[in-house]
Structure 1
Amino acid sequence: MTDVPSRLELLYFARRVIVQQAQASLAQLDRWIAVEEDRETTRRRAEDRRPPPPEWLLERGIGAGSPPALVHQGGCTMAKGVRIQPISEGQARRALYEHVEACPFCNPDTALHVIPE
């Protein structure tokens, strides 16, 4: 007798190897999915805890004690940096009435129905 496996035995062996590899690959994929689900859950929780953005922003000029330069709506992408401070709707109206310029991109004067004199 020869110890050479038959083609059918080799095919069954190849099938077992593929099944084992597929199971290992599925297990790895399941681990990746679990990690991504954890990341997504953490991201959602952080997003839920984040306070809502202010409705109105005041941008000051450059330099310490500089006067207000622009009024922005809260979500304006042009309002960036350390010279920005959140303000109330009343403060935004007052600033616009006191001739602080409205941001030309987010138009807080239009949103507040303020027509400067």
Structure 2
Amino acid sequence: MDVLIHAVVGLHIIGIAALLGGFLTQMKAMGKGEARMVPAMLHGALTMLVTGVALVGLNQAEDYSVNTVKIGVKLALLVVILGLVYVKRDDDKVEAPVFGVVGGLTVVNIFIALLWT
């Protein structure tokens, strides 16, 4: 089961890489006011959601401790990110503050994962 958990963690990291990578590729366009939510951002956020839920279930199935408050905060941030990306996915241009919120919350989510023990 540990191999499965590690594989799902790998997929979770790929999801965050897609979300953050999509954001970073649009940074120059954000400065010009021409940023848009690229499909990688939506797919990355959805991958994070699915694999995050799977990780919680797999860890609980193995009787590993799960910090439910941390998971709740990360889930809340991801729902906001996913909502913004989903709603703005078809817009040709996304306002810089909205786009910046997505990037900022993504970075916060990463640091919560790494630093909150």
TM-score calculated relative to the size of structure 2: 0.23
Whose Rg is larger?
A: 1
Which of the pair is proportionally richer in strand?
Answer: 1
Relative contact order higher in (CA < 8 Å, ≥ 6 apart): 2
